[in-house]
Amino acid sequence: ELRVVHCLIARPETRLELVKKVYSHPQALGQCRAFLKHLNCELIPTYDTAGSVKMIKEKGITDGAAVASSRAAEIYGMQILAREIEDNPNNFTRFFILAQQDSPPSGNDKTSIVFSVSHRPGALYEFLKELASRKINLTKIESRPTRQKPWEYNFYLDFEGHREDKAARETLDYLEKAALFVKVLGSYPRAK
């Protein structure tokens, strides 16, 4: 995990009171809404945060600023007008390292799966009950519509434990029999 820290970045000659436009990725603009509201500037969505800093530099924009990391300011030789402008200081980004096989069990693992259950009352509950009955802690669940049929969903789920752990293995065996489909995305050490 990496803490998300946003800065307001501009050309060296730009002063904060001259900023009329702020450029950045829509996600970053949204994460700094409170700070940007007080600037009373036009918010202009762009493809990415660091690219906004580069654009301001290359186009010589002196009445604009970008929301990006301090590293982007350093890379492009720009000045930081304001630091830590994000609304939520507890915002973190997670990164994944992809591999062909799981990490070996560490004793402090997490497993990620995607599955679909039949579209009937209690189908999801029955699976979640299996997790609870085996004392497996669910850490995340998200639903996304399937592409096959309207009103049917895939569930993305993370739980504590490695797929080789007895309780996790038994739960996955149950799910493979009860679900329309299941795919184990992997088991890996939990973030610190």
Within-domain flag for 80? yes
- Both 86 and 117 in one domain: the answer is no
CATH number of the structural domain spanning residue 120: 3.30.70.260
- Both 6 and 48 in one domain: the answer is yes
Structure tokens at 178: 């009860």
Structure tokens at 49: 């945060």
CA-based angle 25:31:33, to the nearest 5?
100
- Both 30 and 56 in one domain: the answer is yes
Instruction: State yes or no: pLDDT of 156 exceeds 90.
Output: yes
**Residues facing residue 9 across a β-bridge:** 66, 80
Final residue belonging to a domain, choices 93, 117, 148 = 93
CB half-sphere exposure, 91, CA atoms < 13 A = 14
Within-domain flag for 98? no
- Both 73 and 155 in one domain: the answer is no
Number of domains in the chain: 2
The DSSP code for 180 is S
CB half-sphere exposure, 160, CA atoms < 13 A = 10
pLDDT band at residue 102 using 50, 70 and 90 as cut-offs: confident
Q: What pLDDT is attached to residue 151?
A: 77
At 15-26, the pLDDT tens digits run 999 999 999 999
One-letter identity of residue 69: S
- Both 130 and 181 in one domain: the answer is yes
Query: Which residues have a catalytic role annotated?
Result: 93, 95
Within-domain flag for 158? yes
pLDDT band at residue 99 using 50, 70 and 90 as cut-offs: confident
- 3-class SS of residue 147: coil
| Mean pLDDT confidence for 4-13 | 96
Final residue belonging to a domain, choices 28, 61, 93 = 93
At 28-72, the pLDDT tens digits run 999 999 999 999 999 999 999 999 999 999 999 999 999 999 999
Question: CA dihedral defined by 52, 54, 59, 63, rounded to 10 degrees?
Answer: 50
- Both 79 and 9 in one domain: the answer is yes
pTM above 0.75, yes or no: no
- Both 153 and 182 in one domain: the answer is yes
Chain Cα centroid distance, residue 43: 22
One-letter identity of residue 54: K
The boundaries of the domain holding residue 184 are 109-189
Helix (H) or strand (E) holding 20: none
Range in 4-18, 87-101, 102-116 with the lowest mean pLDDT: 87-101
